[in-house]
Amino acid sequence: MQELTHYINGAHVKGTSGRFADIYNPATGEVQAKCPLASTSELETAVAAAQAAQPAWAAVNPQRRARVMMKFVDLLNRDMDKLAEALSREHGKTLPDAKGDVIRGLEVVEYCIGAPQLLKGEFTDSAGPGIDMYSMKQALGVTAGITPFNFPAMIPMWMFAPAIVCGNAFILKPSERDPSVPLMLAELMEEAGAPKGILQVVNGDKEAVDAILQNEVIQSVGFVGSTPIAAYIYAEGCANGKRVQCFGGAKNHMIIMPDADMNQAADALVGAGYGAAGERCMAISVAVAVGDGTADRLLEKLVPKVETLKVGPYTSGDDVDYGPVVTAAAKANIERLVQTGLDQGATLAVDGRDFKLQGYEDGFFVGPHLFDNVTPDMDIYKHEIFGPVLSTVRVNTYEDGLKLAMDHEYGNGTAIFTRDGDTARDFANRVNVGMVGVNVPIPVPLAYHTFGGWKKSVFGDLNQHGPDAFKFYTRTKTVTSRWPSGLKEGGEFSIPVME
């Protein structure tokens, strides 16, 4: 049985707490490795190493820190297949999806290469008589991130790349379900030129999380996960004087107007609803059809596409549409919610409950489910399922559909499919959701914009990556300067003359 490690001060370090979490192969249900769960003292060892290394790193000029990011990009491309395979082995994603996970993180690293421009301050000449004023963006010090299982490459890079290029040290507490890729990323960052102690990986559970929140040296904490834990980390982190950004749950609606291209809408829903087995915070889990006729035409296109989805392990080839969910507990929760949908009156247009995969009967596979006639009072509508389950809600008017998205407690992402520009523009302007797609089902912004939801999908005032990341990982110092007037006469360089 493989026993994983922490990565502290440039070395793989075995856990000393005596506590471990099982890492499963989601396709077979077998335990393939054990992940050490750090004690508070192990976390403090990493913090001490980070605190020792950070001042010298912050003193390195921004263009040299950016060159480390350039090299890191090269190494990510070099090891792309290795990273994707390790990710798929622990998470269950298909290989193309795993590569996409790495690439979307890599794109943020590429953006960070622009750090010299992004870290420039401001200057005012002659703010007063003989007074100049200027600002500097300086690193926070030691920072930390707590990341989820569903994007074990992308989300860590969304956090640590901007933090490090801004001159901080970073301690990463990844999900204990799939920690191998974060450990590999720490090795690659040092190979790229980051000093030891600047990026460290401490595996753990709530004890490690609480140690991060209570440690006085750590200046900021980033988190992505469920809303209840996001609320807890935000409250505790802020109470302990830290800068905190937390991203929580989602229930993303896609409005389908009567004039939409139904083939395009159905294709978009299949990819956005079932890709990565629905384990995405930006997955579309609610299709809102405006008018019964629209719903009928949509389902006519959608049902056969969902019924023919290929579900299997990543080892079955690149034509697999999605793999297993991450744990047996996740599978059981999805199946429980599906049953509540039936009990509460929804119609199961595609029934994936009896899905079995020969040779992988003990794996965590969940067949595709498609509900129709879902109403807002049902549990499958209210809660984030995080599985391959798509709910169809029928509404009479555009205003009814807009209201659904606006009334839900989550506000991460949403989309509208229509041929009418006025409707699309009105939707984008009015909906109280952080990321909006117009004929785009998963509106994840590119690296030079920012990522973040609204309402109970976010706790904090700054988004991830893009310009907001450089604001989050630096603090501004403003200097007001005045030099006293003095004698300006110096040496005489002209030929002396008689007075």
If pLDDT is split at 50, 70 and 90, which confidence band does 487 have? low
At residue 440, the 3 state secondary structure works out as: coil
If pLDDT is split at 50, 70 and 90, which confidence band does 484 have? confident
Q: For 27-47, what is each residue's pLDDT tens digit?
A: 999 999 999 999 999 999 999
Q: For 110-169, what is each residue's pLDDT tens digit?
A: 999 999 999 999 999 998 888 999 999 999 999 999 999 999 999 999 999 999 999 999
- Shared domain for 224 and 296, answered yes or no, is no
Report if residue 444 sits inside a domain: no
- Shared domain for 323 and 419, answered yes or no, is yes
What is the residue range of 40's domain?
A: 2-248+457-481
CATH code for the domain in which residue 366 is found: 3.40.309.10
Q: Taking residues 240-248, what's their average pLDDT? A: 97
Q: Is 281 a catalytic residue?
A: yes
For 28, other C-beta atoms within 10 Å of its C-beta total 16
Report if residue 19 sits inside a domain: yes
Long-range contacts of 225-228 (CB under 8 A, 24+ apart): 225/146, 225/148, 226/384, 227/410, 227/456, 227/457
Question: Per DSSP, what are the bridge partners of residue 12?
Answer: 7
Examine the pLDDT at 225 and tell me if it is beyond 90: yes
Q: Which helix (H) or strand (E) holds 224?
A: strand 218-224
CATH code for the domain in which residue 477 is found: 3.40.605.10
Report if residue 497 sits inside a domain: no
Alpha carbons 160 and 181: distance in angstroms, whole number: 14
If pLDDT is split at 50, 70 and 90, which confidence band does 496 have? low
pLDDT of residue 485: 74
Examine the pLDDT at 488 and tell me if it is beyond 70: no
Cα–Cα nearest to 179, from 4, 401, 385, 415: 4
Examine the pLDDT at 498 and tell me if it is beyond 60: no
Examine the pLDDT at 486 and tell me if it is beyond 70: no
- Shared domain for 15 and 52, answered yes or no, is yes
- Shared domain for 50 and 67, answered yes or no, is yes
Report if residue 368 sits inside a domain: yes
- Shared domain for 388 and 407, answered yes or no, is yes
- Shared domain for 38 and 117, answered yes or no, is yes
Distances in Å between the Cα of 470 and the Cα atoms of 63, 121, 125, 137, 488 are: 15, 12, 25, 9, 42
- Shared domain for 470 and 381, answered yes or no, is no
Catalytic one of 35, 112, 246, 281: 281
Q: How many domains does the chain have?
A: 2
Strand 369-372 versus strand 347-350 pairing type: antiparallel
- Shared domain for 29 and 129, answered yes or no, is yes
